[in-house]
Amino acid sequence: MLNQRKEKQSRVSWLYRGYPQVVITGIIAFCCPGFFNAIQGLGGAGNANPSANDPANIALYVCFAIFGYLGGFFFNIMGPKILMCVGGLSYAFYAAAAYVSGHVAGTGWLFILAGAVCGLGAGWLWTAQGALMMAYAPENKKGHYITTFWVIFNLGGFIGGILQFALNFSEGSNGANAASYFVFIAIMAVGGIMALFLLMNPAKVVLEDGSKAVMAQAKGAKEELLDAMSVIFDKNMMLLLLLFFGSNFFYTYVFNCVNGVLFTIRTRGLNSALYWLAQMAGAWISGLIQDDPKHTLARRAKNGFWFMCISFNITYALGCYLQYGYHGGYDRYHNVVKPEDLIDLTDYYYWYPLIVYILYGFSDSVVQTFSYWIMGAIAGDDTGLAARYTGLYKGVQSVGAVISWTIDLPQLGVPYSAQFWICWVLFIIALPTTYLITRKVGLRSVEIVDAPSPSNDDGSTPTKLGDSD
């Protein structure tokens, strides 16, 4: 049977194979959210005022939370091709609105509208991406597939940051120039259109062992909606909610309160590039740990958990010194960073803030890679279940982001130091519940998956969390 599957897979066009499809989703993410991250990484979406894009990001993440949480419904009704195309184009609209609002007075409303549209599109794109990535990955290569996607995706942020650095190298103002936005808009549009031509119907995609991903028969819209909404009551996901909530919460602090406050515009571009480069390294190392063939599935799960725990806490311990002790520390209301005091890449004391910023990127990817890996271990190769899990993940993650962008609003004026502690404490309190689910991965004697287990074409049952390697 296995030889027949492999022979079947060898005759299939490369475009209809699982791994190339994950690579393609990575390229789309490279063009769209990857370059979006390069803009966000500058702080304030490249505007001189780091808090200028807070209202737009609040609108973005409110819609992201709604359409991300319900993403499994849209995935099973519309399919990944439409979701990723619309999602990709929404990022281009956001970038265009960011440019207009920064150069034309009275257009702040357009930026907020674009944030809402981008939130809808992002919810769709990330649901489709996560579902395909987790469902196409074999059990013993989930870390490799996640790493492949994460490296390609973050290459967009890295290259975008380098472009920002080059285009703004001689920029005298503290805001990004027009060429930066125009280049990014074009790349994002290409990524969205690419989805229409290169993404294949999951029902026709052949996995590495010659089998196909589990595609549940489409239900009515009402039933799909109820399934998507009920996933929050899955006890496995309930244990991971705190981790999901904090997994993007720190973006506001890192981008706006560190990069957007401490550095010159050209240095912000370089920092952004190195942040996403560090994400690639973090994802790669996490993938090696979580796919290590020398260890059982249970041991790999625990190793991934402890690696995440240690790397994040070391990073924030160093970040604490940057916030409070390095050159006297800084904050929103005291030790305020003046324009003439902004750190430039030519300054001799740039090295420590740079190291901390790189580690912020590294630990970010470690958290998200582990989150995808643990969801993939639960969902197996069931694309519908993976879509619902991803939708919940991005939805809850976005609720956290809404709150984090809200507390950075000038009207609230929450000190940067307080935002720092919120980010760190959220991660710490998520560890106990995350470990409860981690320690059960790979144990045959413990059945903790409540979701139905559909069968493959040959009658076998897809690998689930309770299966051992």
Per-residue DSSP letter, 334: S
Q: What is the DSSP string of 377-388?
A: HHHTTBHHHHHH
In this predicted structure, what is the pLDDT of residue 179? 75
Does residue 450 carry a pLDDT above 80? no
Q: How far is CA 187 from CA 16, 92, 139, in A?
A: 25, 8, 34
The whole-angstrom separation of Cα 373 and Cα 117 is: 29
pLDDT in the model for residue 405: 87
Which of 53, 84, 99, 71 is CA-nearest to residue 153?
84
- Name beta bridge partners: 121: none
Query: How many whole angstroms separate alpha carbon 35 and alpha carbon 158?
Result: 8
Position 11 confidence tier, pLDDT thresholds 50, 70, 90: low
Torsion of CA 376, 377, 379, 380, to 10 degrees: 100
What pLDDT shows up at residue 314? 97
DSSP string, 412-434: T---HHHHHHHHHHHHHHHHHHH
Distance CA 267, CA 315 (A): 21
Query: For 414-424, b where at least 16 C-beta lie within 10 A, e where not — what string?
Result: bebbebbebbb
Q: Write the CB contacts of 305 (distance below 8 Å, at least 6 apart in sequence).
A: 370, 434, 435, 438
Cα torsion 72, 78, 82, 84 to 10°: value is: 10
pLDDT range class, residue 87, cuts 50, 70, 90? very high
pTM over 0.95: no
SS3 104: coil
In whole angstroms, what is the distance from residue 256 CA to residue 165 CA? Answer: 17
DSSP 3-state helix, strand, coil percentages of the chain (rounded to 5)? 75, 0, 25
Rounded to a whole number, what is the distance in angstroms from the first to the last CA of the chain?
Answer: 20
Residue 462 has pLDDT above 50, yes or no: no
- Rounded to an integer, the average pLDDT of 181-190 is 90
Round to whole Å and give the CA distance between 439 and 446: 10
pLDDT band at 356, cuts 50/70/90?
very high
Average pLDDT of the segment spanning 122-126 = 93
Predicted confidence (pLDDT) at residue 311 exceeds the cutoff of 90: yes
Instruction: Say how far apart CA 465 and CA 451 lie, in whole Å.
Output: 11
Neighbour tally for 347: CB within 10 Å: 13
Residue 48 has pLDDT above 60, yes or no: no
Q: Which residues contact 16 (CB under 8 A, 6 or more apart)?
A: 200, 204, 205, 206
Q: Model confidence over 312-349: pLDDT tens digits?
A: 999 999 999 999 988 788 888 877 788 788 889 899 99
- The per-residue pLDDT for range 159-184, each reduced to its tens digit, is 887 877 777 676 555 555 677 788 88
For the cut 70, the answer to whether the pLDDT of residue 458 exceeds it is no
Work out the mean pLDDT of the chain and round it to a whole number. 83
User: What pLDDT band is residue 430 in, cutting at 50, 70 and 90?
Assistant: very high
Cα separation, 426 vs 418, whole angstroms:
12
Of 133, 122, 168, the closest CA to residue 22 belongs to 133
Query: pLDDT by residue (tens digit) across 270-291?
Result: 898 899 999 999 999 999 998 8
Q: What is the pLDDT of residues 14-26, one digit of tens each?
A: 888 989 999 999 9
What pLDDT, in 10s, does the model give residues 394-428? 889 989 988 998 998 888 889 999 999 999 999 99
Fold of 14-208+217-438: Growth Hormone; Chain: A; (1.20.1250)
pLDDT over 60 (residue 216): no
Closest CA to 380 of 469, 468, 464, 290: 464
Q: What are phi and psi of 86, to 5 degrees?
A: -60, -40
- What are the beta bridge partners of residue 212? 206
